[in-house]
Amino acid sequence: MSHLLEVEGLTTVFTGDYGETTSVDHVSFHVDEGEVVCIVGESGCGKSVTNLSVMGLLSRGGKVTEGKVLFEDRDLLAMTEKELDKIRGDQMTMIFQDPLTSLNPVFTVGNQIMESLQIHRGLSKDEARKQAEELLSRVGMPDAKSTMKKYPHTLSGGMRQRVMIAMALSCKPKLLIADEPTTALDVTIQAQIMQLLKELQKENKMAMILITHDIGLVAHMADRVIVMYAGQIIEEAPVRELFRHPKHPYTKALMDTVPTIRDTAERQLKAIPGIVPESYDHIPGCRFADRCSYRRPECDKPQENYEFGDGHMARCIVRKEGGIQDES
């Protein structure tokens, strides 16, 4: 069976004043129907650019130079903007960290959801109004009827994000890409919104790519996890397997940064020493090598993602050759 979304060798380059930089380097992954895939990794590792490339929403200066993005076997990169528009916001859609950038300030919330329903689902105005109200109730807006008449800036951050989710779901997408949808919100609201997303994802059997910094959230939400580092995928595994047996030293370090319930005040977040290299496209070998305590000479040669069985892959030659053992 083919996948809902299949990304093969995706490479995205930005051209700026100082020449070209490769932000996403030969990234390959897939998402199946109804599956939740989380993408994790430190700031600047290419999570957003990967997904903006998939959606065809790169900002100016950004260009996909290699690779394929197949959605239900159709190559999105080969489509015209018009063809792409039919799929975007309809069968696949994206929500962002800050809903104000996606909501139009001069239209009411009701108008915006209704418009989406009229365009993508071909509903009449009355049908669209009814459905918009239902959607707003479903995402937990206390008084859907009066919310319909409000403008985005008059709502709180959490309420705006609920409106965005209602809009994203208005077209019943097969795939929702959520790029850190709750980071701008306070912790209790974050939990409510994520719970809502999870319920809606199950209810609609929708596939979801969730980009997050929050490893705790990954454990709660993901079926499968992709770990990115410096523009590359360095590990991929089903969620339980990844938490139990992380293979790449970077993933292991990432897991160790999660505070557990038994944590004492002294053992708070353990930061990974060093930083993601600012520019990484000139590094031929393992891009984590500089920060890695297992570094060997072979790490500086070009790397690949090695198979560890049961859908587990990691880009670590030392691990593959038995130089690092699983902890039990």
Binding site for ligand ATP (CB under 6 A): 14, 16, 23, 41, 43-49, 59, 61-62
Picked from ligand ATP, Mg ion, none, the partner binding residue 216 (CB below 5 to 8 A depending on kind) is none
Picked from Mg ion, ligand ATP, none, the partner binding residue 161 (CB below 5 to 8 A depending on kind) is none
> Is the CB of 48 or the CB of 303 nearer to Mg ion?
48
DSSP 185: S
Side chain identity at residue 201, one-letter code: Q
Beta bridge partners of 30: 6
Q: How far is it, in rounded angstroms, from Cα 267 to Cα 135?
A: 43
- Min dist CB 11 to ligand ATP, Å, is 12
Q: Cα 28 to the chain's mean position, in Å?
A: 14
- Min dist CB 13 to Mg ion, Å, is 17
> Is the CB of 146 or the CB of 279 nearer to ligand ATP?
279
Picked from Mg ion, ligand ATP, none, the partner binding residue 51 (CB below 5 to 8 A depending on kind) is none
Helix axis angle for 109-121 and 157-169, nearest 10°, is: 10
Side chain identity at residue 197, one-letter code: L
Picked from Mg ion, ligand ATP, none, the partner binding residue 303 (CB below 5 to 8 A depending on kind) is none
- Min dist CB 14 to ligand ATP, Å, is 4
DSSP 88: B
Q: How far is it, in rounded angstroms, from Cα 7 to Cα 29?
A: 5
- Min dist CB 212 to Mg ion, Å, is 10
Picked from ligand ATP, Mg ion, none, the partner binding residue 14 (CB below 5 to 8 A depending on kind) is ligand ATP
Residue 122 falls in which region: left (phi positive, over 0), alpha (psi -120 to 50) or beta: left
> Is the CB of 48 or the CB of 53 nearer to Mg ion?
48
**How many residues in the shown chain lie near Mg ion by CB under 5 A?**
1
Within residues 22-61, the interface with Mg ion by CB under 5 A covers: 48
- Min dist CB 61 to ligand ATP, Å, is 5
> Is the CB of 207 or the CB of 211 nearer to ligand ATP?
211
Picked from Mg ion, ligand ATP, none, the partner binding residue 144 (CB below 5 to 8 A depending on kind) is none
| Structural contact between residues 268 and 259, judged by C-beta atoms closer than 8 angstroms | yes
- Min dist CB 161 to ligand ATP, Å, is 17
DSSP 316: -
> Is the CB of 109 or the CB of 164 nearer to Mg ion?
164
> Is the CB of 136 or the CB of 276 nearer to ligand ATP?
276
Q: How far is it, in rounded angstroms, from Cα 29 to Cα 313?
A: 11
Residue 80 Cα distances to 74, 125, 265, 322, angstroms: 12, 29, 55, 48
| Structural contact between residues 54 and 6, judged by C-beta atoms closer than 8 angstroms | no
> Is the CB of 48 or the CB of 201 nearer to Mg ion?
48
DSSP 46: S
- Min dist CB 35 to ligand ATP, Å, is 21
Residue whose entry in the numeric block shows the structure tokens 């790397």: 303
Residue nearest to Mg ion (CB): 48
> Is the CB of 155 or the CB of 185 nearer to ligand ATP?
185
Helix axis angle for 187-203 and 157-169, nearest 10°, is: 10
DSSP 113: H
- Min dist CB 62 to ligand ATP, Å, is 6
Binding site for Mg ion (CB under 5 A): 48
